[in-house]
Chains A and B, each alone.
Chain A
Amino acid sequence: MGKRVAICAVSQIKNDGDYWYLRFQNMLLPCLEAILEQTGVTFDLDKGIRDIITCSDDVYDARTISNNGVTDVVGAHLRGEEKMAQEAINGLGYAMASILSGHDDVVLFMGHCKETQTESRLMNTNLAFDPFYSRPLGLDFINANAFQAREYQDKSGLTDEHLAKIVVRSRENAKKNPYARENELVTVQDVMKSSMIADPIRELHLYPVTDWAFGMLLCCEERAYEFTDNPVWITGFGNCMDSYFLGDRDLTSNFSLKRAAQRAYEMAGIKDPKKDFDVVELMDSFAYQLPLWAEGVGIVDEGKGAEWIDGKGADDQNVNLSGGMLNGNPIILGGVARALECVLQLRGEAGKSQVKGAKRALAHGCYGAAGQHQAVVVLEK
């Protein structure tokens, strides 16, 4: 890799269980203003932002081409605008490609999702399936993921108690994160007593309904210091798409995640993912996914996820110190939220969760039933 792409600034609103009094445009606007304030960047056609990437979920917004409805609050009026119709973490790859290709120097990247607008997440994710075969069966991202969870339990020996520990840890970590959704602390017993919704997934194993928005400013290496003294570099990116039909996949092989990670590691020159990262953020929308994805990105040996939970491996490797998605980020943004947390860590702005001297971080995101599409980003100071 010759040139690098910098993340010059990040901004967010607090993750909330119900921004009932805000339009999603209201959620984005403070994120835009914070970026402008932090960096002094303008929308000047020669030197400023000429291209904006946004991420939103049309079904959650109940609006076709939902990016068209937020132009003013992301500054996209009379500028180039492109939408990431995939887990937002891929927007980093998109922005990176735009900058490395020389198409533009500065890219603003914004995203939002207001999960509370919809009556039912299950109905929305049911719409992710084909209308002839899977949708009538009632498949959604919970019961489809339960297939994966069950199979992974068999493969790794992950128990109900392990899952409960993951939830307890997520909530404890999130208490240190001022932008995390406010949740009650829970005990292992609380989690194990929470209602079973799709065996083995219990209510507390699943990320809560959340509203959130964020912003990021990306820039080419040459100009990064115009906007910050403390850039974070994207040094690796890879993503990979697996089969749409669940029946075509081995649900616990992590096939697509391994491919995505391999691609990112090659680009960033990562030799040993177990040792090379100071901070790791994995998109655990469900408790069982934390050890599963940890295996997939290679920070845990295959099939050893349960032991890793027993052995405090997640703490030793600084995994999801932010609380993770499990504590609450909306769908389609759970991965980019991981990247944003990594940026804060590398900038030394992670507050009570700060890992001293963090130099290199791994951020992961996925979207689709049982992690169909996977993406991995390597970030460095």
Chain B
Amino acid sequence: MAEYFGVKVEDIFNTMQERFRPEGAQGVDASFGYDITGEGKWKLTVKDGQMNIEETEDLSDCVVVTITDGETFVGVNIGKVDGMSAFSSGKFKAEGDLGALGKTAKMFRKYAPAKKEMSIRDYLIDMFGTVVERFKPEAAKGMDIKFAFDLGGEYGGQWTVIIKDDTCQVIEKIEGKPTIKLEFMDAKDYVDFSLGKIDAQSLLAAGRAAVQGEINLALKWGEFFEKYLDPMASGEKEQELLVLKKTISVGQRFATGPVMGKFLNALKDKKILGTKCPECGRIMLPAREICSECRVRFSEWVEVGPKGQVRYMDYVYYASPDPLTGETRDTPYGMISVLLDGCKGNDTFAHIVRNDQIDRIEFGWNEMAGTRVRPVWNEKRTGSIFDIKYFEIDE
């Protein structure tokens, strides 16, 4: 299998179980298919807060099947490819219930590429291999010191760092009489100590390390040498700063004002109220203070609908997830413009239509009537536009 951005397609699938978040999968009972061109097909099944992933040719019972190439799939999963762009350009396709696909994003923690490990031996070689370049001659001027390291354990060894005549040299043995000798029972402790993961006091107190010779000089090590930097610490390659990703949010308190407020409040009572212009007679929906055409304040409240006919509808295939809440809409959905009974002309009311009826909606045009629809009210109504869940065909 090919690697994309250092990651194989199967790495993404093989880590799904450990990245799975049951709290993000609540109420999900479905199978999701992945058809990765040239790589294979996988089926993810989620039920009762548990998941299973299998490589299979049969994706027939999946609610949605993602079809893409390995590079795009890996790229989107590790954040190297923008999902929306890949979707728009057709590189990333989904067949079936797109809204369901959106839910999978919440089910998994983001894939983090595994770091290539350095062994204790690798560290020791790197640490002593960089001693000479980390040496600061000006700090060790005139010094004549031999630091000996006796590191035990499976990966251990012996090294001597010799400072003399403003130069530094490392040999992989202990010879002669060192000025100072550091002993670590386990070379791993020395590595951890050098990386700042464990302090010398605890090692000494636990008898896992010992110092012989001029202890004061041991403390000078930090003056003579630049600090050892963990090559793994920086981890992934530094971000190339061409873009900076931020989510902007500032809390708002939107006043409804008395007119919009009354309109929203009436929804609680399953009533749709418009305001009527005293001059042209048009009914404004949602209710507003002034007729923009006649430039006069409304004269009366009028209850309209709740049934009406569809004038326009469009199919929306994207879910527009809210970056702060992750909330999405089920896709595709039908955004409709309804001429409620009692209204005329262009004074239509926007809402959405029942998802499974999208394909049955006919537009109205001039004298031709569109599909008759009625609102489906929410049980719990709060004075929001979603007190109406959606409109459905009135049959």
Contacts and interface: CB of A to CB of B under 8 A. Distances in A.
Interface of A: 19-26, 29, 32, 36, 43, 59, 62, 71-73, 75, 77-78, 114, 116-120, 123-124, 127, 131-132
A77 B252 contact: no
Contacts of A75: 295
Interface string B280-296: 00000000111111010
Contacts of B219: none
B2 to A, nearest CB: 36
A120 B250 contact: yes
A29 B290 contact: yes
Contacts of B260: 23
Nearest to A32: B295
Given A43-B295, A131-B244, A26 B289 contact: yes
24 contacts: A20-B253, A21-B258, A22-B255, A22-B257, A23-B254, A23-B256, A23-B257, A23-B260, A25-B288, A25-B289, A26-B255, A26-B257, A26-B259, A29-B297, A32-B295, A36-B295, A43-B295, A71-B292, A72-B290, A73-B289, A77-B292, A119-B251, A119-B252, A119-B253
Contacts of B114: none
Contact of B250 (A20, A23, A119, A132): A119
Contacts of B291: 72
B125 interface: no
A62 B254 CA distance: 9
Interface of B: 244, 246, 248, 250-260, 288-293, 295, 297
A117 B257 CA distance: 12
Contacts of B251: 118-120
B257 A62 contact: no
A20 B252 contact: no
Given A21-B258, A127-B248, A131-B244, A77 B293 contact: yes
B257 A21 contact: yes
Nearest to A211: B255
Contacts of B244: 131-132
A151 B292 CA distance: 50
B246 A131 contact: yes
A308 to B, nearest CB: 38
Nearest to B257: A23
B252 A117 contact: yes
Contacts of B252: 62, 117-119
A116 B253 contact: yes
Given A43-B295, A118-B250, A21 B289 contact: no
Contacts of B289: 25-26, 29, 72-73
A80 to B, nearest CB: 15
A19 B255 contact: yes
B276 to A, nearest CB: 15
Contact of A73 (B246, B253, B290): B290
